[in-house]
């Protein structure tokens, strides 16, 4: 099983993000149904590990909070843009939730995450896309801001990689108080 923990976004926000997509030939835009904010990528685990992960995540008790998305940017590999994203305002509640998830997963036996948490929603994967096109897109869309949305839960997803893109399945939702 290939797993990750994320905030599943309300459909209205997913539709709003979908309106940003396009205008970059060669970009692999994420389907609106797959938009999410990853809190922790887990990767391949056994059924027993998945059960331990579920039990650890179910013990998290935190209040609901508002999530705000704003701005557009890119991640790069070897001086080439590799992903296009919409950022999330890094606030105390989001950072606290991500930290609690990280602690819960370590208690479940997972190695600590090595990458720094950068809250975002991936819009597209980029490979061999002219940097000038990416820069123009970012400049055009960088003032994007969505109204805050109330996050009432977080989700453990499974992921199956396919030729036509990934298929994400919500396995368990964990309520925030």
Q: Tell me the CA distances in angstroms from 126 to 47, 59, 111, 160, 162, one per residue in order.
A: 33, 37, 29, 20, 17
122 CB-contact burial (10 Å; exposed 0-12 / middle 13-18 / buried 19+): middle
- Alpha-carbon distance of 71 to 17, in angstroms, equals 11
- Alpha-carbon distance of 4 to 24, in angstroms, equals 28
Q: Give the count of beta carbons closer than 10 Å to the beta carbon of residue 65.
A: 18
> Per the residue annotation, which of 3, 120, 121, 129 is the catalytic one?
120
Is residue 36 among the annotated active site residues? Answer: yes
Is residue 55 among the annotated active site residues? Answer: no
> Per the residue annotation, which of 14, 36, 40, 100 is the catalytic one?
36
171: nearest Cα among 159, 161, 163 = 159
CB distance 171 to 156 below 8 Å: yes
What residues act catalytically? 36, 120
């Amino acid at each position: 099983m290939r797993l990750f923990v994320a905030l599943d976004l309300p459909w209205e926000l997913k539709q709003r993000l979908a309106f940003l997509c396009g205008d970059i030939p060669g970009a692999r835009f994420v389907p609106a149904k797959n938009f999410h904010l990853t809190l922790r990528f887990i990767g391949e685990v056994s059924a027993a590990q998945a059960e331990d992960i579920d039990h650890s995540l179910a013990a998290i008790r935190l209040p609901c909070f508002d999530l705000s998305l704003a701005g557009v940017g890119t991640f790069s590999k070897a001086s080439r843009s590799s992903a296009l994203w919409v950022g999330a305002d890094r606030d105390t509640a989001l950072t606290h939730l991500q930290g609690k998830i990280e602690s819960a997963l370590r208690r479940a036996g997972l190695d600590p995450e090595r990458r720094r948490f950068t809250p975002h929603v991936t819009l597209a994967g980029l490979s061999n896309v002219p940097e000038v096109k990416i820069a123009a897109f970012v400049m055009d869309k960088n003032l994007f801001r969505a109204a805050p949305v109330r996050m009432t839960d977080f989700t453990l997803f499974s992921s199956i990689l396919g030729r036509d893109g990934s298929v994400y399945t919500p396995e368990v939702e964990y309520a925030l108080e």
